[in-house]
Structure 1
Amino acid sequence: MIFSLWVLQSCGTLKKTSPSTGEVKDQTLRVFKDAYENSLPSFDYLQVRSKIDANLNGKSNSATLRFYFDKDERIWANASILGITGARANITPGKVQAYEVLDKTYIDTDFSFFNEKLKVNFINFERLKSLLLGQLFLIDEWNAYELQTTPENLYELSYKSNADLLKKPKEGKYIHTFYLDSNYRLSKVDILDPNSNTSILVTYENWVEVEGKEFPSRVKILVKAKDNDKIELEYNNFDFSETNPPFKIPKGYTPREIN
């Protein structure tokens, strides 16, 4: 995702999953939490090939994007156009690094980079990984949420303080709700900063099954503020093999100002 914010033969068989046909059930938060966590895919390594379309600050860009997830230690990414690398990133729990080939610049920073771009304060390594892979990225502890079902046959996991924040906004607190289908697959996330009226809508569509593990094949992120920014990721290849792709900022590159 860093490229959309800045520049822009699988080992398993990809199989489109059937739409959720079961009924959501009234249940306690603990039962829901256990069922949700049991539904999550388990892997040590994951490569994802995708296409990215982004409209940021009124400019549209498209690229081929490849992710590599190394357990809970690293997210590596490479963006290319017509097969030529345009930018590369390496993200760890404590650092965000990337470089752009065309203008020979780089960034070496922390997660304030993503938070400033998305106009929030809660993005860290785990939440970024979860956001990209269609998993819950809770902003608070589980007991800070309440569970309901909707007429649209979805589970609604909402922040208990939503109503209070709507009446009396607090700095750094967000009105937010997660929606999941009856198979515990994340469908969409609504986030609102009541102070700035900035909203973020994340949707997950066209879930696929790869070696018994489910992932969304399409992720859309819409940020509505002074300007409307839109990012669309279309995942088309998943691979669970270990590759350990390299990352090193080339010599002679200059620091890029982050704004």
Structure 2
Amino acid sequence: MQKLIRSTIILVIVVLSLASCKSRKITDKSVDYLPAKTIVKKNHDARFARTSVKASMQIKYRGKDELPNINGSLRMVKDSIIWLNFSKLGFPIAKLIITPSDVKFYEKIGKTSFEGDFKLISSWLGTDFDFEKVQNLFLGETLLNLESQKHQVTIKDGKYELLAKKRNPIFDIKYAIDPIHFKVVKEEITHAQKNQNLSILYRDFNKINESLFPKGFLITAKADDMTTIIDVNYKNVQFDVPLKFPFAIPAGYRNIELE
């Protein structure tokens, strides 16, 4: 009986300690200062290391037009191809396929299509994008390589904030890095000359088969007087499973012309 009581007490203590750790609020005072080089290395070590991703998504979009909530499917082979399928109430409405060299897209409602470079995605998001940036966006990585420049570190809102020591003549970018798992939780890019601002906020990370993957992300893009908001939540995430990428633009669709 004594052993049972003792075991129960130990179990309760463990559960309470885990709960207190989980709910502990991280403040500036609770974050130890680390050199930028150490933070960048830890972020690199925490990068997504799987070959492919398959996931379903729930998406909200507000921009030039406010779209009803839609569902999406993501299939990705790192550094090779990104395939997206969008549907509403079970009916397919659009497909998008991205490779390092081009972007192809079609949507069934207006029967329009696009085949070209990354101008389409850049126009949607309000700032310049290429394949690597799109891939990093979905994987929860910094859009730009942190190792390519030196940073200064401040501790703000319980996170490490990195800002490049040498200011880029075209844009400013700052990152908020979590002090526990060292993944990026927020990044903001500002193009002063183009009057553009892009903010990406990640809603925590799940550990799936020993790999950290974002629960979702919120994009807020501002260009002149236009604001675009894209809210993505992941569901049913799988890694390294067989994938297919069916894509064919139907006949008779009108091609979108971008300036």
Decide: shared fold, TM above 0.5.
Answer: yes
Q: Secondary structure at the match of 1:158?
A: strand
Q: Is the 8 A contact 1:106 1:256 kept in 2?
A: yes
Residue 251 in structure 1 maps to residue 248 in structure 2: no
Q: Secondary structure at the match of 2:257?
A: coil
Distance, in Å, in 2 between the alignment partners of 1:67 and 1:20 is 34
Q: Secondary structure at the match of 2:120?
A: helix
Q: Is the 8 A contact 1:24 1:181 kept in 2?
A: no
Shift of 1:58: 4.7
> CA distance change for structure 1 residues 103 and 196 in 2, over 3 Å: closer, same or farther?
closer
Q: Is the 8 A contact 1:97 1:107 kept in 2?
A: yes
Match of 1:137 among 115, 138, 143: 143
Q: Secondary structure at the match of 1:142?
A: helix
Shift of 1:85: 0.6
Q: Secondary structure at the match of 1:78?
A: strand
Match of 1:48 among 52, 55, 64: 55
The corresponding residue for 2:236 is: 237
> CA distance change for structure 1 residues 25 and 147 in 2, over 3 Å: closer, same or farther?
farther
Q: Give the structure-2-normalised TM-score.
A: 0.81
Match of 1:208 among 190, 206, 209: 206
Q: Secondary structure at the match of 2:79?
A: coil
> CA distance change for structure 1 residues 106 and 203 in 2, over 3 Å: closer, same or farther?
same
Q: Secondary structure at the match of 1:127?
A: helix
Q: Is the 8 A contact 2:127 2:196 kept in 1?
A: no
Structure with greater contact order relative to length (CA < 8 Å, sep ≥ 6): 1
> CA distance change for structure 1 residues 253 and 149 in 2, over 3 Å: closer, same or farther?
same
Q: Is the 8 A contact 2:176 2:184 kept in 1?
A: yes
Q: Which has the higher helix share?
A: 2
- Residue 253 of structure 1 aligns with an amino acid whose one-letter code is Y
The corresponding residue for 1:115 is: 122
Q: Is the 8 A contact 1:55 1:231 kept in 2?
A: yes
Shift of 1:68: 0.4
Q: Secondary structure at the match of 2:248?
A: coil
Aligned-residue RMSD, C-alpha: 2.2
Residue 67 in structure 1 maps to residue 74 in structure 2: yes
Shift of 1:176: 1.1
Q: Is the 8 A contact 1:53 1:63 kept in 2?
A: yes
> CA distance change for structure 1 residues 83 and 58 in 2, over 3 Å: closer, same or farther?
closer
Alpha-carbon displacement from aligned partner over 1:127-162 (angstroms, at most 9, x marks no partner): 111012210111x76343314131422111212244
Distance, in Å, in 1 between the alignment partners of 2:87 and 2:116 is 22
Q: Secondary structure at the match of 2:138?
A: helix
Residue 150 in structure 1 maps to residue 121 in structure 2: no
- Unpaired stretches in structure 1, ≥5 consecutive residues: 1-17
Matches within 5 A, 1:81-100: 81-100=88-107
The corresponding residue for 1:3 is: none
Distance, in Å, in 1 between the alignment partners of 2:24 and 2:62 is 31
Distance, in Å, in 1 between the alignment partners of 2:131 and 2:252 is 28
Shift of 1:57: 1.4
Distance, in Å, in 1 between the alignment partners of 2:218 and 2:49 is 23
Alpha-carbon displacement from aligned partner over 1:60-102 (angstroms, at most 9, x marks no partner): 3321011101121000000000111100111000000011123
Match of 1:199 among 187, 197, 200: 197
Shift of 1:117: 3.1
Residue 32 in structure 1 maps to residue 30 in structure 2: no
Q: What percent of counterpart residues are identical?
A: 23
Distance, in Å, in 1 between the alignment partners of 2:155 and 2:36 is 15
